[in-house]
Chain A
Amino acid sequence: MSPTAPPGPDAQTAPVLLDRAGLQALVDALVARGFDVIGPTLRDGAIVYDRIADLAALPAGWTDRQEAGRYRLERRADAALFGYAVGPQSWKRFLHPPEETLWRARRQDDGFTITPEPPSPAPFAFLGVRACELHAIAIQDRVFLGGAHRDPGYAARRQGAFLVALNCGTAAGTCFCASMGTGPRAESGFDLALTELIDAARHDFLAVAGSEAGAALLAVLPTRPAGPEATAAAEAVLARTEAGMGRHLDTNGLKERLQANPEHPRWDEVAARCLACANCTLVCPTCFCTSVADHTDLAGTEATRVKRWDSCFTADFSFIHGGSVRASGKSRYRQWLTHKLAHWIDQFGSSGCVGCGRCIAWCPVGIDITAEAAAIRAMPGKAVGEGKGGNA
């Protein structure tokens, strides 16, 4: 994997078929190569990414129903292993963990010494990375690795990671990746990509490699050639998923409208519903904001700095001497949406939204990013024509 490679079709091998035992062999091979294998599991009524060693841990025969403010698991008629859309977590929590110790300082007679925290040892292998999530990882690569300063912890975790993508076989009511150009097909940025093919006669996974590491691994697995019928069946899966998208976001001209409309009445309207609970930023696979906290032991001999996920919805996020810059809920929602869909393009060259729909499903009051963006987009604002304000 090349973490900084721009999205674009990777050189992919000819498709082959793995059966269920072959997929278990893939997991076994990853474990044998020292990877910490993470995949979808069932916990607390949701599908969450966690460590797996056996396909039995996967949510076989489950699917999800998602709508604004709603996420429910239901039984499927078959035993598909990946027959659902995305759950509350994304791979962000592994590559950009919710809490990370940055360094430890030890007091000495003459000042103190600071020692960086060593990176976590085992590289990750992710099983079942959706197209929207591949794009989210590529976006966080640009945030943490693409600028003047790199995040060394993210770089270490990202460099070692092995990505097994999954072409989605089902879309949720909250999905809109097709309109964002981020799915449902996994096009690049993976080591292997799978499409689950399941009917009365078969349960197979069409597999292609997207990297040398992926091709090398595929070569040692028990595969059989995929004929044109299997390839056509995989295409049909993707076409069905794309047609099943529950939502759509029209991004044409949206950046300019958002940046021109900071005083749009819709901001007040959405603020009356928004609880500023920060759920949307926590479930978002691209939201990257963090804070730091400093701790000392009781004796004061050791101090640690811990980096934690933070959210632009919290009151102290923008605190400076004299108070919070963004004291109102209106200004915080405006910051989040405008950053995500507009400023992000100025900062990192793409939208910050991949259309995964998590913020819609996990909003306790069901605020829908596609509806809010459409409402702002509907009204032309005065053109302010501002880009970045750098002093160059």
Chain B
Amino acid sequence: MSAAPPAALADPMLPAPWRVRAVRRETADVVTLDLVPLASGVPCFAPGQFNMIYAYGVGEVPVSLSGDPADRSCFVHTVRAVGEVSAAIAGAAPGSVLGLRGPFGSAWPVDAAAGHDLLIVAGGLGLAPLRPAIYRVLARSERFGRIAVLYGGRGPAELLFRDELAVWGARADVTVAVTVDHADPSWHGHVGVVPALIGQIGFDPPNTVALLCGPEVMLRFTATALRAAGVAAERIHLSMERNMKCAIGLCGHCQFGPDFVCQDGPVLRYDRIAARLAVREI
């Protein structure tokens, strides 16, 4: 019959109110929101982490942080309207208020990758959780060997952050390669899946760290291609997606083998999950 927990351990299930400061449309069904807290400062976050975002009366979903971790003025989230809750969040007007809990989860090992070649491989909306890592890497690119961003989308109209991809691609310290599954007349770039880009860029496989985010099938094929190219399994890091309700390891929904994706992940090491990643419906 001990004392009540201290206020610092206050209810982790309680969302705090955050105001939508700005909305940018990325594609037909994807928007990026800048959120500012009503009652506190903007907490630190590590690239790869996510927040639980609540739309009043509709529900709550996990959304990765997609902004620059060095920018402490707001949280940036990139959301695709796929269900009721994400549609309500993506439809939030500037000035409206959303609930927010977080940040939660593991991070991309950006600092540990210093001194290595770095491959950042994204599929579809998977570029959003990787963008904070790209910002941090490009802010001090001299710490790394060769840096490459490989990105694939269904079609040109579904690609995220195209202006930024062009800016990054113009830099001397980073290689950017973009591919689409289905081209349209406007597209003059690669056509095909992301793993096919791996052979087209120069890197030193034994000395490479890879960060992967995208649909699970893309993660599997990309990790397999990287292993075949000679990248060590323990240097391949994947961001996994599972159903999440609590984000604090208590609701059980996000289990992936012994891991709770919400707190052991979302960023997991390939050598530790490769066997179960190959099993259907784990």
Contacts and interface: CB of A to CB of B under 8 A. Distances in A.
A290 B251 contact: yes
B12 interface: yes
Nearest to A287: B252
A102 B101 CA distance: 14
Nearest to B96: A111
Given A386-B275, A391-B107, A391-B268, A291 B251 contact: yes
Nearest to B38: A111
Contact of A388 (B1, B258, B275): B258
Contact of B255 (A1, A331, A339): A339
Interface string B32-64: 000000100000000000000000111110000
B265 A391 contact: yes
By DSSP majority rule, is chain B's interface helix, strand, loop, or mixed?
A: loop
Interface in B1-43: 1-2, 4-5, 9-17, 19, 38
B268 A389 contact: yes
A325 B275 contact: no
Contacts of A81: none
A263 interface: yes
Interface stretch (B142-150, B157-165, B194-202, B240-248): B240-248
Given A262-B276, A289-B251, A291-B251, A325 B243 contact: yes
Contacts of A347: 258, 260
Contacts of B11: 102-103, 116, 152
Interface string B64-104: 00000000000000000011000000000000110100000
A252 interface: no
B139 interface: no
B175 interface: no
Contacts of B245: 290-292, 310
Residue of A318, A327, A346 with highest tally of chain B CB at under 10 A:
A318
A288 B252 contact: yes
Nearest to A115: B14
Interface stretch (A23-31, A143-151, A168-176, A193-201): A143-151
Interface residues of B, number: 61
B188 to A, nearest CB: 30
A386 B251 contact: no
Nearest to A162: B1
Contacts of A160: 1
A319 B259 CA distance: 17
Contacts of B155: none
Contact of A105 (B57, B106, B269, B276): B57
B267 A346 contact: no
B282 A262 contact: yes
Interface in B234-282: 237, 241-243, 245-246, 248-253, 255-260, 263-265, 267-269, 272-273, 275-276, 279-282
A290 B250 contact: yes
A282 to B, nearest CB: 14
B205 interface: no
B196 to A, nearest CB: 23
B192 interface: no
Nearest to B62: A320
B109 interface: yes
Nearest to A255: B258
A149 B242 contact: no
A149 B13 CA distance: 10
B109 A391 contact: yes
Interface string A292-329: 10101000100101010010100001111110011110
B105 to A, nearest CB: 9
A287 B99 CA distance: 29
A149 B60 contact: no
A120 interface: no
Contacts of A392: 106
B273 A389 contact: yes
B19 A111 contact: yes
Contacts of B97: 110-112
A285 to B, nearest CB: 15
Interface string A129-157: 00000000000000110011111100110
Contacts of B12: 149-150
A105 B99 contact: yes
B269 A389 contact: yes
Interface in A253-276: 259, 262-263
B233 to A, nearest CB: 11
Given A290-B250, A386-B257, 7 more contacts: A2-B2, A105-B99, A112-B99, A116-B14, A149-B248, A384-B275, A389-B273
6 contacts: A112-B17, A152-B9, A262-B276, A292-B246, A294-B60, A389-B272
Q: Which 7 pairs show the lowest CB-CB distances between chains A and B?
A: A111-B97, A289-B252, A331-B281, A389-B272, A346-B258, A149-B248, A296-B57
Interface of B: 1-2, 4-5, 9-17, 19, 38, 56-60, 82-83, 96-97, 99, 106-107, 109, 215, 237, 241-243, 245-246, 248-253, 255-260, 263-265, 267-269, 272-273, 275-276, 279-282
